[in-house]
Structure 1
Amino acid sequence: MPLIVLLLLCTLYMRKISLFGNHIFLIYAVPLSVGIIWVYAFFLTAGGAYNFKGCSSSIPSSNILLDSCRRHAEIMRRCRTDVSNAWRSAAWVRAPYPLQWGPPTFHFKTAIIMVIVSVVASVDSLSSYHAASLLVNLSPPTRGVVSRGIGLEGICTFIAGLWGTGTGSTTLTENIHTLDTTKMASRRALQLGGALLVIFSVFGKIGALLASIPVALAASVLCFTWALIVALGLSTLRYTEAVSSRNMIIVGFTLFISLSIPAYFQQYEPSSNLILPGYLVPYAAASSGPVRTASDGLNYAVNALLSINVVVALVVAIILDNTVPGSKQERGVYIWSDPKSLELDPASLEPYRLPKKISCWFRWAKCVGF
């Protein structure tokens, strides 16, 4: 709660305060707020604010016998900065390498889930491309540009899988809000940021330091950033007839159903006493969900997909938007220019071209629409 309050103060009430010619509190609201509350949590932990007699945050909840400790266990795990032992176990320098966790394994039922999730991520990236082009006053990306972007995300996801990162690569929608706030869309800045992230990944202590961020603090940041994502998505409705009853019903029903259906599926927990983290809830629902057919693989895939909010939202929105009659102005299709006219104008595509030193390696991609 303190972090959310501080974020709202910086982004809403202090956003017009200028220091050195820049709106510091608006541009750096998240890192400033996180840093302040992080230090505050560190002093609370060091001062013994989260110390309870006879209790330890390292003991699993299932092994805690005292009722008094059970009441304080969650507070200790979520608010202390020393819950993770990453700082003690992480190496100072460690170079990651391909297949460092062993050879990959493939399962058909999980592959189906990841294919659908990849489609959802691609649609999200597509909307991010268009939103970014509007913010920097560029023409909308053509089909070839979009194909190149999605293809590069796939290549990066493949590389991430080889290195065993555990997550894929996709467009970070929060960066669209960063573009709007900072007015910085330079490739140099993005290249420098990417290079720094690669360098930091070699130093294990940096990751261990980030692991000391309390869970409650990370959850507060996600509450704020996800709210920005929702606001960014709803802001694209300005290119449609927002007052149309057709659009209001589709948007409202999609938002409601994408929250209610996954909540129904996620209530089916597996027959286990383990307490699963939030990101494993869809897989828990997949193993014991309400859909039960003769095929175990189909049951797993359907239960998992219907327990993921973005999947349900995408499916419902696509079906309704493409089956309910509506004009181009009502749907907002008219706002995008004709891609053929853009392809005939080389100047409009110049900002989308790859650097010369990189484009020479992707000449072969023209045959697949890149």
Structure 2
Amino acid sequence: MLFFSIYNQKGVPLLYYSLQHYLSLAGSLIFIPLVIVPAMGGTDGDTATVISTMLLISGITTILHSYFGTRLPLVQGSSFVYLAPVLVIMNSREYRNLAENKFKDIMKELQGAIIVGAIFQSVLGCSGLMSLLLRLINPIVVAPTIATVGLAFLSYGFPQASSCVEISIPQILLLLIFTLYLRGVSFSGHRIFQVYAVPLSVAVVWAYAFFLTDGGAYDYKGCNPDIPSSNILSDACREHAFTMKHCRTDASSAWRTAAWVRVPYPLQWGIPTFHLKTSIIMIIVSMIASVDSVGTYHSASLLVISRPPTPGIVSRGIAMEGFCSILAGLWGTGSGSTTLTENVHTIDITKVASRRAVELGALLLILFSFFGKVGALLASIPQALAVSVLCFIWALIVALGLSTLQYGQTSTFRNITIVGLSLFFSLSIPAYFQQYQPDSSFILPSYLVPYAAASNGPVHTGSKEVDFAINGLLSMNMVVAFSVAFILDNTVPGTRQERGVYVWSNVLDLVNDPTLVADFSLPRKVALFFGWAKCIGA
């Protein structure tokens, strides 16, 4: 059994173990706001506020999940599953303008949609419907769905990272060196390059970018670093404005404008707005996020207690994730809350699985969220550097998704065909919907055009709300992959062994297994069958 308990350790060792979990999660906790807030028209100060809010909600929800969810040492945070629908919603026709309150309007729209999707997710978990859904979902469905979460950002990734190749290329190369070539190097028994590849590489490249800026690499005669207002009037400066904005480390005003102490509070962006079209999108996305989380529960449970999670644990975890996403919607993080897969990678490498370490790290996140300058410092990371890291993380998501196939028979023609068709149509069908570009091509940057299909797609039912939802969903790769794989896998004949059905996908097997439920009373067995363990405390 792989469980290294450090509950009796005090002080520095516990703090060290907690920090190593959260440093490995920097990509999900920090870089998503760095992508979405500028795209929503937010200022540098808004980016800092969203990052601080993300830290607060991640800390609170991690503690809640640790005590009332799966009770596994897992960290809650913003998931890349929500990134594509967020980009779809923010690029709808009504927000393609330069309105003064564009950021807050989009954020309130996202808050409302996330809250509705979170309520659905809570019902899915607590009612037992998640246990029934697990009977129909297995690795052949999960693998292409998760893989396409990363593939969805093909058109966004390197085109954005290349806005400053002096930063992005060294960042990607350094990540490759740390994770592949130096992964076996250890100091005092700790593989720092493998565990801390992201924060170490970001620190090195950020310092390198600072020296470039301070050394005058981006100084142009007569041009002021205050981008872009001071340069648009000069033809000589206008051609350098793009480089200065994306490469200079002092281009962000977040540090200068942020308060030292600021406590994120609910409804800080205003009262959430609720619309049917965005709510439908988030309901479907919350279900896919649940599938992603269940896969993480499975991997973590095998590492920590050497057996898959029971249906009761799964239902309880999904119900709590729904509640946590409601909090994320109320505070306005711009994304739902899910279990972060990177945490399992850290447990696997370090062989440390302690809820207390995770909870201590969560408390530190809450503390840091109260200091506005912490969020401002993180918001000052050049976007080209952030997107470079995301390119690496999205590639890993693709690989992690496909690695799920190891639980099934990957060599059978049935499974090869289902996975191949799911991946192909997940790229091809959205490409068809995405070719319906906005009426004026200059309204959106080219890398955001693929996410504008919801308002311009080919589906016309007579209802603008339904049209937006259908066009938006079918323009998202993960939704198409999940739909195709789900339908084919549950209609094409195949044995349980061939399909790779998880142990906990059939609650009947669990209820009849005396080694797992010997201490359960009859009412608890009945509750377990229906997945109601969350509601009665089983």
TM-score between the two structures when normalised by the length of structure 2: 0.60
Question: 1:78-117: per-residue Cα shift (whole Å, max 9, x none)?
Answer: 3222232111111110112222222221111111111111
Give 1:123's aligned residue.
Answer: 291
Give 1:140's aligned residue.
Answer: 308
Give 2:493's aligned residue.
Answer: 325
SS at match of 1:345: helix
**Counterparts of 1:263-274 in structure 2 under 5 Å?**
263-271=431-439, 273-274=442-443
**Residues 70 and 270 from structure 1, CA distance in 2 versus in 1: closer, same or farther, beyond 3 angstroms?**
farther
Give 2:277's aligned residue.
Answer: 109
Q: Matches of 1:12 and 1:228 in 2, distance apart?
A: 12
Q: Establish whether residue 45 from structure 1 lines up as the match of residue 216 from structure 2.
A: no
Deviation at 1:128, TM superposition (A): 1.2
**Which one scores higher on RCO, CA 8 angstroms, separation ≥ 6?**
2
**Counterparts of 1:269-280 in structure 2 under 5 Å?**
269-271=437-439, 273-275=442-444
Q: Matches of 2:296 and 2:425 in 1, distance apart?
A: 23
Give 1:340's aligned residue.
Answer: 511
Q: Establish whether residue 12 from structure 1 lines up as the match of residue 12 from structure 2.
A: no
Give 2:376's aligned residue.
Answer: 208
Q: Establish whether residue 312 from structure 1 lines up as the match of residue 480 from structure 2.
A: yes
Deviation at 1:154, TM superposition (A): 0.8
Could you tell me which runs of 5 or more consecutive residues in structure 2 were left unpaired when the two chains were aligned: 1-168, 521-531
The answer (yes or no) to whether the contact 2:281–2:469 under 8 Å persists in 1 is yes
Question: 1:267-319: per-residue Cα shift (whole Å, max 9, x none)?
Answer: 4333454435967953x221112222311111100111112222122111111
Q: Establish whether residue 153 from structure 1 lines up as the match of residue 339 from structure 2.
A: no
Q: Establish whether residue 287 from structure 1 lines up as the match of residue 458 from structure 2.
A: no
Q: Matches of 1:50 and 1:278 in 2, distance apart?
A: 25
Deviation at 1:65, TM superposition (A): 7.2
The answer (yes or no) to whether the contact 2:408–2:500 under 8 Å persists in 1 is yes
Q: CA RMSD in A?
A: 2.9
Give 1:59's aligned residue.
Answer: 228
**Residues 107 and 276 from structure 1, CA distance in 2 versus in 1: closer, same or farther, beyond 3 angstroms?**
farther
Q: Matches of 1:265 and 1:69 in 2, distance apart?
A: 39
Question: 1:146-202: per-residue Cα shift (whole Å, max 9, x none)?
Answer: 111111111111112221222211111222222222222211121112111111111
Give 2:203's aligned residue.
Answer: 35
Give 2:339's aligned residue.
Answer: 171
The answer (yes or no) to whether the contact 1:174–1:229 under 8 Å persists in 2 is no
**Residues 343 and 206 from structure 1, CA distance in 2 versus in 1: closer, same or farther, beyond 3 angstroms?**
farther
Give 2:59's aligned residue.
Answer: none
Give 1:86's aligned residue.
Answer: 254
SS at match of 2:209: helix
2:228 aligned partner, one-letter code: I
Deviation at 1:140, TM superposition (A): 1.1
1:265 aligned partner, one-letter code: F
Q: Establish whether residue 366 from structure 1 lines up as the match of residue 525 from structure 2.
A: no
Q: Matches of 2:449 and 2:315 in 1, distance apart?
A: 31
Question: 1:254-276: per-residue Cα shift (whole Å, max 9, x none)?
Answer: 22222232233334333454435
The answer (yes or no) to whether the contact 1:7–1:29 under 8 Å persists in 2 is yes
**Residues 344 and 103 from structure 1, CA distance in 2 versus in 1: closer, same or farther, beyond 3 angstroms?**
farther
Q: Matches of 1:287 and 1:315 in 2, distance apart?
A: 22
Give 1:261's aligned residue.
Answer: 429
Q: Establish whether residue 239 from structure 1 lines up as the match of residue 239 from structure 2.
A: no
SS at match of 1:321: helix
Deviation at 1:321, TM superposition (A): 1.3
Deviation at 1:39, TM superposition (A): 0.8
SS at match of 1:170: strand
Name the stretch that deviates more: 175-184 or 97-106: 175-184
Deviation at 1:121, TM superposition (A): 0.7
Give 1:301's aligned residue.
Answer: 469
Q: Matches of 2:367 and 2:435 in 1, distance apart?
A: 42
**Residues 296 and 67 from structure 1, CA distance in 2 versus in 1: closer, same or farther, beyond 3 angstroms?**
farther
**Residues 303 and 124 from structure 1, CA distance in 2 versus in 1: closer, same or farther, beyond 3 angstroms?**
same
**Residues 318 and 311 from structure 1, CA distance in 2 versus in 1: closer, same or farther, beyond 3 angstroms?**
same
Q: Matches of 1:321 and 1:270 in 2, distance apart?
A: 36
Could you tell me which runs of 5 or more consecutive residues in structure 1 were left unpaired when the two chains were aligned: 350-362
2:356 aligned partner, one-letter code: R
Give 1:354's aligned residue.
Answer: none
Give 2:191's aligned residue.
Answer: 23
The answer (yes or no) to whether the contact 2:510–2:517 under 8 Å persists in 1 is no
1:33 aligned partner, one-letter code: S
2:511 aligned partner, one-letter code: K
**Residues 162 and 248 from structure 1, CA distance in 2 versus in 1: closer, same or farther, beyond 3 angstroms?**
same
Deviation at 1:15, TM superposition (A): 1.4
